[in-house]
Amino acid sequence: MNLTPATAALMGASITGFFTLLAGLSTQWLTRSRDREQRVWEKRAAVYEDVLVLVQRLAEDRRQLVRDGAAGDWDSDLVPENLSRVFAKLEIYGTDGLIKAHKESEAALGQWLAAFMNWRSRAGENPEIPQPGENAAWDGFLEKARAAEVTDEAFMVKLRADTLAIRPRRRWYQRQG
């Protein structure tokens, strides 16, 4: 087979065109993959921020209950509908370890609220905060509140660790010198 200049030019153009198409498709695929990772990261970061704020607000309310025996002004972000929405997003975007830590924190929340309501129902309308050891219901509440504090702190540590660990991956083609 003789290779004529025209055949060589056509073959060269075909090979060049093929590799140009391949490079374009590869670039598009890698860009879409990176953009998808970035979108998921942005959603996850927003959810983690909302969850951290809510957990800190709940912890402050718990500290106020321990201090004063009564709740202050109710924060509108802490109504069950808002909590459910934020925690549902955490179920979608959170890691397995973070979801497990959240469930533990949520269980501790239920326990200290139940213990507080138990004390409140026994104490009457204007209860005075008893000294430790004077009232078993109050002591039970304090114990559950301390346990919840530890659980919430572990949850927030896990949340911060996940926030720092889960970043969009930097690939070799994204490195800047």
Looking at residue 126, what is its pLDDT?
65
Q: Which of 91, 60, 94, 95 is nearest to 78 (CA)?
A: 60
Identify the CA nearest to 117 among candidates 89, 100, 98, 137: 137
CA 27 from centroid of its chain's CA atoms: 32
163 C-beta neighbours (distance < 10 Å), count? 16
The one-digit pLDDT tens for each residue of the chain (177 residues) are 688 888 889 999 999 999 999 999 888 888 887 788 888 888 888 888 888 888 888 888 888 888 887 776 665 566 667 778 888 898 888 888 889 999 999 999 999 989 988 888 887 766 788 888 888 888 999 999 999 999 999 999 998 888 887 655 555 555 554
Element housing 14 (H / E): helix 5-68
The whole-number pLDDT of residue 143 equals 94
What tokens appear for 113 in the block?
């609220």
Query: What pLDDT does 161 receive?
Result: 86
User: What pLDDT shows up at residue 177?
Assistant: 43
What does the pLDDT read at residue 55?
Answer: 87
What are the helix (H) ranges across 69-172? 80-93, 96-123, 136-165
| 86, 54 Cβ separation under 8 angstroms | yes
5: exposed, middle or buried (C-beta count within 10 Å: 0-12, 13-18, 19+)? exposed
pLDDT tens digits, residue range 115-142? Answer: 988 888 887 766 788 888 888 888 999 9
Other CB atoms within a 10 A radius of the CB of residue 90 amount to 20
Nearest-angstrom CA–CA distance, 151 and 23: 51
Total-model pTM = 0.68
With residue 67 as reference, give the H or E element that holds it.
helix 5-68
CA 154 to the chain's CA centroid: 13
